[in-house]
Structure 1
C-alpha cells in the first residue's frame, strides 16, 4: 500500500519523535591496554583519567589513561604493604588491598582503601594523602581511620568519598553486615569523628556492598543517588553481582528505588546484571557528575577473569539513570 507523501512525512516525523523520547541504553566504551581489573574506582583530573583498583597482594593498584579508553598499568601505592596492615590480613598476604576510593579534595590527593580478608568483619579503612594531588604521587599514609570487628554493626570496607550539596564531605562504606553506611568526615584531615554513622542500605537476602553516592540536580531538586552491588562477587563466571541504584533528597537517606522500595528493605533498581558472556557486573564507581561509570564483570570465555568496563550513564527525563548494558 502506498501512502500520500504528506501522510508519509507525518508518519516518519512521528516515529522519529517517539524514538527520541525513548532513552537510549548506552553501550560500554571500547577499551584497550591494561583492562584486567576488580573494583575499579574512576577519577578524572584535567588531563588524565585514573583508575584505582583491588589487588591480591600488591598495594593500591593504579591505572591511567590520556583518553579514558587506552589504559596503562601504573606503579602501585605501597606495593610492599604497611606494617599495620598485617593485623587485618590473612597470614599469606602482606599487601592485599580492596576497593580503594581515590580523588582530590581542595588540591589534596586522597585514597581511602580497605584491608580485610574474605568473609571477615575484622576490617579497616585506611587513608593516604598526597600533597599536590594524585599526579604528584607524594603518598603519605594516615593510618586506619575506621575499623570493625566481629559483632559491630558494620564492616569497614568499600570506602567512597562524596561531597554534599553544602560542601560537607562524607564517606560511604560497608558490606553485608547491615549493608551500607555513611558518615561525615573532617574538612581538615578527611577522617571521621567518633559516632555519627548512618545505615542507608541493607539486603539480608542477597547482601549489598560497594556503595557509591553521586548528587545530581533534577528539575530544581538535588537528589543523591546510591549505587551499589548486590549478590556474590569473586566467583568468576559463577558470580551473581548486579548493579543497583536508589535515591534520596538527603545524603543520609532514606534511599528508595524507582518502584519506591526502601533500600533499607532490600530495594534497588537494577542497572546491570549478568549477560551471556560477562557475568556478575559490580564494583562500580562514577565520575562525580554521574556522567560516566566504571565497573568490572567476569569473562565466562576466559576462565572468569575480571574485566574493566566503562560507559556513559544516560539519565532519563524522570531523573533516573538508565541501564548501562
Structure 2
C-alpha cells in the first residue's frame, strides 16, 4: 500500500517554510527542526561522509534529497527518473518506484526499491549499485525478488541489514501474510536460502526496518493503512529478538507473527499516520500526514533512544 498522489505536485508544497515542525532545536529536543524540501513518503536515510541523504517514493523514479547537516533539505535529481524498461511488467509502464532502502556495503552504495501498483501482489524488488551515493554512477542490477497474485507474500518494502556475524539480509513484505527476511549472497546481494516470517497483522503491516542495538535485533514496522486521508491508521510499532530470524516479541511478550508490536508513535492532531521509518546515525526518519494540508506527507526526524532495552523518542 503506497503513496499515490502526484509527487511533483506535492514537492512544491515541501518548500513552504515548514521549519516549525519542532518547537526547539535538536540540541534541546528529541524532534529535529527541519526546513527546505520536506515532502516525502517512505524515506530512507543514510549519512555518507558529511552528507545526509534521503531516498524516497516518487512518481518519477526514486526521489532523492540531500543535506549538509540533516536539518535543511534540498530536493535532488531522481534516480532512474525516466523509469527502467523492466519496471513496466510490474507497474503498468509507469515511472514510479517505491520505498527505496539506501546503504553502503563493502565500499559501494546500494539501493533496493519496489515496483508495483497499489494493492497488487504482482510486484518486484530491484537493486542498483554505485561507487558512492555522492558520485551517483548508479548501475541497474535488475530484479532480486518478485511475487505474483498467487503468492502468499508481496515483494515490496525492502530493507537491507547485516547481522552480528557480518551476514547481509533482505527483509520485505506488505499486508498478505506479513513480513519476511531472507539471507543474501554477500557477492550478488540476491536472496540465497529459505525465508523466515517475522511479523503479521490482519489490519495491515509493511515498511519493515531491522537494526541491532546491544544484544538485540529490533524490528520496526508500519501498521495500518497509509493513504486514506483522515481515516489513515498508520503507526510505527516494534519488537525485539536475540536472533535476526526471530521471534520478535513486543514489550508484553507477544510475538509479532501473532499480531504483536509495541506502538512507538501513532500520530495525533495535525500530524497523523506516521510510518515509512528508517534509522541512521541514531535518528529515526519517517513521514507524517499533514491533516491541515490535504494530508500531504512530511518528513520528521527524531533522536532514537533506548530505555531499558526498548526504543523511545
TM-score w.r.t. the length of structure 1 is 0.86
Mapping for residues 1-325 of structure 1, pairs under 5 Å = 27-55=30-58, 57-90=59-92, 94-130=94-130, 132-193=131-192, 195-204=193-202, 206-217=203-214, 222-287=215-280, 291-316=282-307, 318-322=308-312, 324=313
Contact 1:41 1:285 in 2 (8 A): yes
- Looking at structure 1, the residues matched to 267 and 304 of structure 2 have their Cα atoms a distance apart, in angstroms, of 18
- Looking at structure 1, the residues matched to 230 and 277 of structure 2 have their Cα atoms a distance apart, in angstroms, of 18
Deviations 1:117-165 (A, max 9, x none): 11100000000011x2211101010101100001212100000100000
- What residue in structure 1 maps to residue 16 of structure 2? none
- Looking at structure 2, the residues matched to 82 and 135 of structure 1 have their Cα atoms a distance apart, in angstroms, of 21
- Looking at structure 1, the residues matched to 66 and 227 of structure 2 have their Cα atoms a distance apart, in angstroms, of 24
Q: Say how many residue pairs are matched.
A: 286
Q: Secondary structure at the match of 1:294?
A: strand
RMSD: 1.3
- Looking at structure 1, the residues matched to 167 and 132 of structure 2 have their Cα atoms a distance apart, in angstroms, of 20
Cα deviation, residue 237, structure 1: 3.4
Cα deviation, residue 26, structure 1: 5.7
Contact 1:32 1:70 in 2 (8 A): yes
Deviations 1:170-221 (A, max 9, x none): 011100011110011111121112x4111100012x111101000011xxxx
Contiguous gaps of at least 5 residues in structure 2: 1-27
Which has the greater radius of gyration? Answer: 1
- Looking at structure 2, the residues matched to 236 and 67 of structure 1 have their Cα atoms a distance apart, in angstroms, of 32
Contiguous gaps of at least 5 residues in structure 1: 1-24
TM-score w.r.t. the length of structure 2 is 0.89
The structure with the largest strand share of the pair is 2
